[in-house]
Structures are given as C-alpha cells and as structure tokens.
Amino acid sequence: MINDKKALYDKAIRLSQICNACRYCEGFCAVFPAMEKRRDFDIKDMDYLANLCHQCGECLYACQYAPPHEFDITVARDFSAVRKESYKKFTTLKFLSSAFEKAGLVTAVLLLIVLAVFIGITSGSFNKDVSGNFYEVTSYNTMVSLFGIFALITLIVVVISCVKFARSIGFSGVRFIDWMSALKDALTLKNLGGHDYEGCTFPNGENRSNLRRYFHHFTFYGFLLCFIATCLAAFYDHILNYHAPYPFLSAPKLFGTIGGISLLIGCAGLFVLKLKADPELLDVKSLNVDYALIFMLFLSALTGLLLMLLRTTPVLSYILVLHLSTILSFFIIVPYSKMMHLFYRYLALVKNARECRLNTHN
C-alpha cells in the first residue's frame, strides 16, 4: 500500500512538472496558475493542487500529451485519486476510512440496515400505530440526544481533519480577505463555469455545459436549506414553544420541502453525469466513495419528503425509522466520504486566494 501511495504521488508530481513546462492550459482554471507559482513540487503541493482541481475536464481535451500519448497526462483522473488519498490521510479513526474506501456504497448500505434494525427494535416502532406523531416512535429527548452526540462527534472529527489539511498545505499569511474571496468562488463554483461561464466539458468533452455546475448548486443549496429548516424547527420548539407538526406554509416546512426537492434533483443529476463521464476523467477507485455520498444524500431527502407526505398513514413508523437511520449513517460516513471535498476544496481555494493576492502585489 505504501508503494501504491508513493507511485500515486510520484505520478502526480510528474504530470505537474510536465504541465508546468507546457503551460498551454494556464487559462482553464485555478490549478495551472497555481502550478506556475512553483518550480518544484512535493506531496504537500499535490494535496493542495488536487483539492483545488474541480475535475472539469478542460485540460484533458486540450492536452497534446493526453492518452494515447506516452506521457499519459490525465490531470483530472490522477488528481481525483490524490484527493481520495487526502481524505484518508488527514482523518482520524483510519480503519473506518479504509472500509469506505474499499466498498463505500456497500459499507454505507450495510450501516444503514444495521441502524434501521437497531432503531426499529429498540423503539418498538414496528409494532406501533403512531397516528402521525413522530415522538410516539421515539421520544424527542432520545432523538435529540442520539443525533446530537453523533453530530458533535462528526463535527469534531471534521474540524480536526481540516486543521491537519490546512497545516499540511501551509496557511501562513492567510487573511480575512482570502477567506471571503474563496467563499465567493466556492458559492458560485467559479472554477466550473468555464470561459465566461459558458460551462465546462464534463462529462465527455462533446460540448460545453453548465449542467454539472447547476446540479452541484442544487445539491449544496438543497442541503443548506434542509439544515436551515432543522434549525428553524428547533427555534420554534425551544424558543417560541411552538411544537411540530407545522403547517405546510410554515418556514420549517417550506425550507425543508424546497431543500429536499433540490437535493433530489442535484443528486440524481450528478449520478447521471458520472455514468456518462469519460473514463479518462474518472479514478475508478474513487467512484465507490462518490456513489456512497450521492446515495445517502438522495435517500435523506427522499425519506424526509415521504415523511411529510405520508405522516398520517400506517407506514409512517417505517419511513421514520429509515429516515433516522439514514441521517445517522450520514453523520457517521461524512468524515470518510467525498463530503470532505467540500471542506478541503474550500481550504485550497483560501490558499489559492492568498497566493493570487501576493502575486498581484508583487
């Protein structure tokens, strides 16, 4: 495994040296100008550049050294493999990371099944007629305590991993303006916009399209709206003493419904694009991790919407158990899944903003 890891980074360093000498792709995205600021490359540079890469595919179809050329320059594919290695390298509890790396989707599904059976049996929900009341399946205190603990553990692991990553790639001299510039690039997905925001060549290079960018927006902002809905529901319950169930036109319901639908659209779209993607753009070993995250996000949104639509039916308890186990599974897999690219890529954008600012001043 050590040799495989060394070979992976050696190959990434080699392609960076070739790209840095050629510089034909310097206007495509943030990666190549970042390369040009370096004369030599090491493993830390590869972790940084790989997480700065958005895997748009522009460079593959423009490169004169891409396959079948003997240089075999495939930046998107090889940097994808380095990104996956960085998720594992900087996390804690690495045995869990190895399990998701080898069989991400299978591991996620097995975890979901185990949790669903556990929650169903311990709550006795499979034998209950809950009449539309979630808390007859499992008490409010139990739900908040269980999910609060797992959410806190997940947050701690993610923060530790991000600190390790930031220290490794180098964050000295970063200022507030760099964080804000990176936030703008991240929220707009600037590096997936292509030239004048006409789109990138993903998934197969046939034409430019903004579909991948749009589906990422649906996924991210859908997730954000669902999070806001959860926070609003907590505010209503604890501060306003206004308890669920809430009417459809209430803020928690509206944010949750719009967010859930957006998540479904985004996840389905990203899954289809991956199926259509040029094999030269993809690291096959990373697909398991990618599909596991898409599946969990899609199922979280689907079960959440079904809870709203079927809350007065006899199947409520079963859907609630599935939804709760899905959310719990999601918390567990976040530090070991492609969800980490959300954090690492933002940190890479912050470092890139700092380098661009210093380069402008010089």
- Locate tokens 């594919």: which residue? 77
Buried b (16+ CB within 10 A) or exposed e, 82-108: bbbbbbbbbbeeeebbebbbeebbebb
Dump pLDDT digits (tens) for 294-322.
Answer: 888 999 999 999 988 887 777 777 888 88
What tens digit of pLDDT does each residue of 126-136 get? Answer: 555 555 566 66
Distance from C-alpha of 341 to C-alpha of 189, rounded to nearest angstrom: 13
Percentage of the residues of the chain whose pLDDT score is greater than 90: 31
**Token pair for 1:** 């495994």
pLDDT in tens, 85-121: 888 888 876 666 665 665 566 777 777 788 777 777 6
- Which pLDDT value is given to residue 344? 95
Structure confidence by residue, pLDDT tens digits, 34-65: 998 888 899 999 999 999 998 888 888 888 88
Q: Report the share of the chain in percent with pLDDT over 70.
A: 87
Q: How confident is the model at residue 1 (pLDDT cuts 50, 70, 90)?
A: very low
pTM of the predicted protein model:
0.86
Structure tokens at 306: 């079904």
Tokens describing residue 201: 């060549």
The tens digit of pLDDT for each residue in 241-263 reads 887 778 888 898 999 999 999 99
Half-sphere exposure of 7 (CA within 13 A, CB side): 4
Specify the residue for token string 């990176």: 182
* pLDDT (tens digit per residue) in 193-237: 766 677 787 777 777 888 889 999 999 999 999 999 989 988 888
From residue 266, alpha-carbon distances to 55, 186, 262, 272, 306 in Å are 17, 17, 6, 10, 18
Query: Are 157 and 335 in contact, with CB atoms under 8 Å apart?
Result: yes
